[in-house]
Amino acid sequence: VRLAATILLAAGLALWLAGATSPAAITLNAGLLILMATPVVRLLWALVAEARAGEWRYVALGVVVVALLFGSYLVSRRGP
């Protein structure tokens, strides 16, 4: 997944430099979105591991973190 972000960003940058502005924009934004998704995926993996171990208090903490991340998405939409 990490590699996918890097490849997309490199390809997008190459396209942008070549002057192909609109395919570049799509590729670059896809790369940035995947980049932003990687820590969230890592966090979800940690949650799965804690759930398997039956450590529900830590699962709850992780859920709060995910909820707060969703909160920052909401702030970016309507933000003050």
54 vs 80, which CB is nearer to other proteins?
A: 80
For residue 79, the SS3 value is: coil
- Residue 44 touches other proteins, criterion: CB under 8 A: no
Instruction: Kindly tell me which residue out of 4, 10, 48, 54 binds other proteins, with binding defined by CB under 8 A.
Output: 10
- Residue 32's CB: how many other CB atoms inside 10 A? 14
Residue 51 neighbours by CB under 8 Å, 6+ apart? 59
Span 48-77, contacts to other proteins by CB under 8 A: 49-50, 55, 58, 61-62, 64-65, 68-69, 71-73, 75-77
